[in-house]
Amino acid sequence: MKILRALRMERCIGCYSCSLACSRLVHKTMSWERAGIRIHSAGGLSTGFSAQVCLACSPAPCAAVCPTGALIQRKGGGVMFKKNLCIKCGECAAACPVDAILMDRENGLPVMCIHCGQCVSFCPQECLEMVEIDDEKGPTS
């Protein structure tokens, strides 16, 4: 299994192509608030950028607090999201240790990285990559 990692953020130019790709291809919209990966500036173009993305925790605190089972722990880390079970309570977002889950203001559903890799090819600076993980031990690089 593979998970998304932002391993070379020193290369990031803040184009937000990855966020837009996620929003469009995964969440079927063009909204900054519906992207599983969010890019933040440290204060300007010369100070660098960081990527806010799911770390694929194992065990995942977000899944542990979900009262309906809408978030299910993936083997090796991260979660699967069952939209039809979600009651929009926001417990998952509150439990995320890296603030990588955003509650959509329009529909009330959580937005998070699902480690699909759709964003990777849209990064012109090759900041992102899918990393193979050992299901038992977690990320291998």
The confidence score (pLDDT) of residue 137 equals 52
* DSSP collapsed to 3 states, the chain: CEEEEECCHHHCCCCCHHHHHHHHHCCCCCCCCCCCCEEEECCCHHHCEEEECCCCCCCCHHHHHCCCCCEEECCCCCEEECHHHCCCCCHHHHHCCCCCCEECCCCCCEECCCCCCCCHHHCCCCCEEEEEEECCCEECC
Distance CA 93, CA 101 (A): 5
Higher per-residue confidence, 67 vs 46: 67
Checking if the pLDDT of 94 tops 90, the result is yes
**Average pLDDT value for residue range 107-130:** 95
The confidence score (pLDDT) of residue 78 equals 87
Distance CA 131, CA 4 (A): 6
The confidence score (pLDDT) of residue 140 equals 41
Checking if the pLDDT of 126 tops 80, the result is yes
Full set of structural domains in the chain with CATH = 1-53+113-129 (3.30.70.20), 55-99 (3.30.70.20)
The confidence score (pLDDT) of residue 136 equals 55
Mean pLDDT of the chain: 90
**Average pLDDT value for residue range 113-120:** 94
pLDDT one-digit tens code per residue, 32-66? 788 999 999 877 666 789 999 999 999 999 999 99
pLDDT one-digit tens code per residue, 2-19? 999 999 999 999 999 999
Cα distances (Å, whole numbers) of residue 111 to 22, 26, 50, 90 = 11, 10, 18, 11
Percent of the chain with pLDDT over 70: 93
